[in-house]
């Protein structure tokens, strides 16, 4: 069983953003599998690198969407993304400076943060989209 299984309650009703969230989940689940197979230390570095890169891409896309729909809590949302990015970057530095035994801590942090952020903060804008009947898909007229 995956540590962070996808379910519909995470959906923000945008196929583009849902796909990006699924990809973040996949990175976490792959790391978990590697840890279970005793390969955590080796997989942790590349996973952290991918997560840093991919989270940045995802946050930029999501914030662009929130700007497009004039989401009122955008600044607050941005701060949450920035805080995650900072924590991830510091884990990455710790890993690359030789502290390779962080796999389980990293997994716990990733699982907690993603689960919480998607169910709380991302769901808030999903509701806003529904309430204001806007289309989350890029290129659509609002």
Nearer of residues 32 and 62 to Fe ion, judged by Cβ: 62
CB of 28 to Fe ion, least distance (A): 13
- The window from 38-46, 60-68, 94-102, 105-113 that contacts Fe ion (CB under 5 A) reads 60-68
SS3 of the chain: CCCCCCCHHHCCCCHHHHHHHHHHHHHHHHHHHHHHCCCHHHHHHHHHHHHHHHHHHHHHHHHHHHHHCCCCCHHHHHHHHHHHHHHHHHHHHHHHCCCCCCHHHHHHHHHHHHHHHHHHHHHHHHHHHHHCCCCCCCCCCC
122 touches Fe ion (CB under 5 A)? yes
32 touches Fe ion (CB under 5 A)? no
Nearer of residues 23 and 39 to Fe ion, judged by Cβ: 23
CB of 51 to Fe ion, least distance (A): 13
Where does this chain bind Fe ion (CB under 5 A)? 62, 122
């Amino acid at each position: 069983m995956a540590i962070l299984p996808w379910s519909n309650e995470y959906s923000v009703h945008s196929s583009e953003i849902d796909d990006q969230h699924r990809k973040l989940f996949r990175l976490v689940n792959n790391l978990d599998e590697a840890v279970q197979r005793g390969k955590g230390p080796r997989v942790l570095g590349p996973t952290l690198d991918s997560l840093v890169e991919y989270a940045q891409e995802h946050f930029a896309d999501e914030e662009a969407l929130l700007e497009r729909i004039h989401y009122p809590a955008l600044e607050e949302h941005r701060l949450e993304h920035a805080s995650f990015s900072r924590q991830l970057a510091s884990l990455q530095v710790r890993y690359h400076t030789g502290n390779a035994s962080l796999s389980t801590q990293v997994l716990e942090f990733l699982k907690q943060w993603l689960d919480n952020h998607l169910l709380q903060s991302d769901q808030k804008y999903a509701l806003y989209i529904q309430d204001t009947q806007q289309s989350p898909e890029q290129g659509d007229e609002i």
